[in-house]
Amino acid sequence: MIYLCEFPDCAFLTRWKSEFDTHRKRHLGQRDFPCQSCEKRFFCRRDLNIHHRVHSGTKPYCCQGCDKTFAQKSQLNTHETKEHPNLSTRQRKWYPCHLCKKILTTQDGLQIHIAAHLGLKSHECPTCGLRFSSRSNLRAHSTRHELKVRHDCPECQQSFRLKSMLKEHLWSHSGFRPFHCSRCDKGFKRRQQLEAHLNVHSGLTPFSCQESG
């Protein structure tokens, strides 16, 4: 089953009801997860859990320029951009490779680098099964598949290049008519159909013969 956002000009659709419910709450401004320590409320439990760090004092993100810690990664990024815009490699923690002379600036980067030395390819493409030594190489490869992705209608055999096109098509199966005429309240499945209908009220004929009879 596919869940479509019913709000006009929003192309969001998903197969997961929980994801759809959270998305819909953002449109409605419905914040069902309140913080017990302050008056803030959140759309989903994940956002609430991140916020809890403010009250608990948990700060897992450490600046490599001054060792100041932060509760959220976005706060760390803002701090480093403002306070350490010219943070050099020498100021950062070094992770040297014991197999060559290369020095990495993160532990994750070192692990990926060593995996390349050893020929380890632990990141598998779920689409074609090819394996890669790093997540970044897998992501670069996955973009090739994404360029070929077609969004198939679960009700018929039609396929579409964009999610928004599929969403508009699915309305033809559901009978949902989101575009309404403000004069007679007649509903239409597509905006273009509504615009053509409005010409009936205005008396305009968009396509007229240029030759006199």
pLDDT tens digits, residue range 87-131? 643 444 666 777 766 666 567 777 777 777 777 777 778 777 787
- Res. 208: pLDDT tops 70: no
The residues, any chain, with a CB within 8 Å of residue 29's CB and separated by 6 or more, are none
Helix (H) or strand (E) holding 179: strand 179-180
CA–CA dist 66, 68 (Å, integer):
5
Look at residue 153 in the predicted model and tell me its pLDDT.
83
CA 119, chain centre distance (Å): 32
pLDDT (tens digit per residue) in 17-70: 888 888 888 888 888 889 988 888 988 888 888 888 878 887 777 676 776 777
> What global pTM score does this model have?
0.33
User: What domains can be seen in the chain, in order of their start residue?
Assistant: 3-56 (3.30.160.60), 59-92 (3.30.160), 151-193 (3.30.160.60)
Percentages helix, strand, coil for the chain, rounded to the nearest 5? 40, 15, 45
Cα 20 to Cα 152: distance, rounded to the nearest angstrom: 19
For tokens 């069902």, what's the residue?
32
